[in-house]
């Protein structure tokens, strides 16, 4: 028997340990960015102040990870620059609207107003880069461990209409986006690109329906719900958000479950002309308003569904023909055996799970509305005014918002559903 030299044994051991550590690091790098117990603050200008991409991101996290305990605070203010704006100078904004919430995660998107809606101006650009660094330094001075995501400014629409400045205002914003990327690289920060993906959608949408494409960013500055859908996708992808809600394969011929991801299957049985089973998905699909023609256009011109909203069901071994799918007695659709064998995406269909997710979204909108009212209609207007009832009023609004958040989280919890698949 050949003896292995001790030195070689140690070397092999070190190689193994190094490889294992590298794989662990790779896994950590690609883990979802937001963790249990995180407090997320969204900071920005009027585009953040729309409370659209922020609500979509929150809804995704609450529905995709219903066991996580994460809080979300909207702190966008219309007209803001890196120096501040209508909500006060930047140091006031940061102290009151960010640091006060003790965030563990913060996103920053500024630039649309900073660039001045004109051709590139070196002075404005320097103010922006210096101001962005000041924001980072100020927040990290309070908590060096805060995890900051810098967001490249969303686009000015120079695609569906003629540019307003020579070369286009979005070309100016792209210089600001380059500064964001550079600063993120220097500081080891996460960066999300909300410009290029939206521009790509605008270009595809213009080719498909030029008139409707103009409605994606109606005033060329503030995207509507469809545009914010792509912006939310950009932020979530920078955080390594998973595409899968659930992925289930059933074998009708053998009457057994095949591969199952993100779900539990029980009570699977043959009915002679189909299958019955109970399925409990651990997450919910993303509620998207497909009644809006602009949103439908955006979805057709993007990879949103493939990237973030896959609730797959495959049923193999069925006899040829058409099959009606019901969930909890509600009709979902009729599908050919070949379609079911290839797989259908339940996330895009009218299921009880989608209705449940819509309830979560509605509660997300409501709690953000209460926070906005508390902050912008009570707290800020009454700063410096000594009113004995003000603290109690703010406290009551906090309690009201918390009650809505508790309902939101309860609404996101998984439920079992009875599936019936019958040949027609």
Please name the residue that has the structure tokens 């699909």.
285
pLDDT at 30: 79
Please name the residue that has the structure tokens 């926070």.
371
Count of beta carbons in the 10 Å neighbourhood of residue 135: 22
Count of beta carbons in the 10 Å neighbourhood of residue 81: 19
DSSP lists the bridge partners of residue 323 as: 335, 423
- pLDDT tens by residue, 84-122: 999 999 999 999 999 999 999 999 999 999 999 999 999
Evaluated on CA atoms 414, 287, 331, 261, the torsion sign reads negative
Q: How far, in Å, CA of 286 to CA of 348, rounded?
A: 9
Q: Residue 317 half-sphere exposure, CB side, CA atoms within 13 Å?
A: 14
Nearest to 169 by CA among 120, 130, 124, 210: 120
- pLDDT tens by residue, 327-380: 999 999 999 999 999 999 999 999 999 999 999 999 999 999 999 999 999 999
Residues of the chain with pLDDT under 50: 1-4, 9-27
Determine what percent of the chain falls in helix, strand and coil, rounding each to the nearest 5.
Answer: 45, 20, 35
pLDDT at 44: 99
pLDDT at 28: 52
Count of beta carbons in the 10 Å neighbourhood of residue 413: 12
pLDDT at 7: 52
* Torsion angle of C-alpha atoms 343, 237, 413, 375, degrees rounded to 10: -150
pLDDT at 118: 98
Count of beta carbons in the 10 Å neighbourhood of residue 170: 23
CA distances from 95 to 88, 89, 139, 386 (A): 11, 10, 8, 20
pLDDT at 1: 40
pLDDT at 112: 99
Nearest to 40 by CA among 109, 105, 135: 105
Please name the residue that has the structure tokens 């995890």.
147
Nearest to 61 by CA among 105, 26, 110: 105
């Amino acid at each position: 028997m050949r003896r292995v030299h001790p030195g070689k044994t140690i070397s092999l051991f070190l190689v193994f340990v190094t490889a294992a550590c590298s794989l662990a690091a790779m896994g950590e790098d690609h883990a979802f960015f937001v963790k249990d117990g995180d407090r997320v603050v969204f900071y920005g200008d009027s585009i953040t102040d729309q409370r659209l991409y922020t609500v979509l991101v929150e809804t995704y996290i609450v529905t995709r990870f219903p066991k996580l305990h994460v809080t979300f605070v909207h702190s966008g203010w219309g007209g803001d620059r890196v120096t501040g704006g209508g909500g006060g100078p930047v140091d006031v904004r940061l102290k009151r609207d960010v640091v006060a919430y003790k965030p563990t995660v913060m996103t920053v998107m500024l630039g649309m107003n900073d660039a001045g809606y004109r051709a590139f101006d070196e002075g404005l650009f320097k103010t922006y880069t210096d101001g962005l660094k000041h924001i980072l330094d100020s927040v990290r001075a309070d908590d060096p461990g805060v995890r900051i995501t810098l967001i490249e400014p969303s686009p000015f629409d120079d695609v569906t209409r003629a540019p307003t400045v020579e070369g286009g205002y979005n070309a100016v914003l792209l210089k600001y986006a380059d500064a964001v990327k550079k600063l993120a690289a220097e500081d080891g920060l996460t960066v999300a690109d909300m410009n290029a993906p939206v521009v790509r959608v605008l270009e595809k949408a213009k080719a498909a329906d030029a008139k409707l494409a103009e409605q994606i960013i109606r005033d060329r500055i503030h995207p509507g719900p469809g545009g914010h859908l792509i912006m939310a996708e950009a932020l979530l992808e920078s955080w390594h958000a998973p595409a899968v809600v659930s992925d289930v394969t059933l074998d009708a011929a053998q009457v057994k479950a095949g591969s199952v991801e993100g779900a539990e299957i029980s009570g699977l049985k043959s009915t002679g002309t189909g299958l019955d089973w109970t399925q409990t998905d651990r997450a919910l699909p993303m509620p998207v308003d497909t009644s809006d023609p602009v949103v439908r256009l955006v979805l057709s011109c993007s990879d949103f569904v493939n990237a973030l909203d896959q609730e797959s069901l495959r049923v193999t071994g069925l006899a040829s023909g058409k099959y009606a799918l019901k969930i909890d007695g509600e009709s979902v659709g009729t599908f050919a055996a070949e379609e079911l064998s290839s797989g259908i995406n339940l996330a895009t269909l009218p299921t009880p799970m989608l209705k449940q997710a819509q309830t979560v979204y509605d509660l997300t909108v409501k709690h953000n509305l209460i926070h906005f009212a508390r902050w912008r209609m009570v707290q800020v207007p009454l700063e410096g005014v000594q009113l004995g009832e003000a603290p109690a009023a703010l406290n009551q609004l906090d309690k009201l918002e918390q009650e809505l958040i508790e309902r939101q989280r309860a609404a996101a919890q998984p439920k079992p559903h009875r599936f019936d698949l019958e040949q027609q």
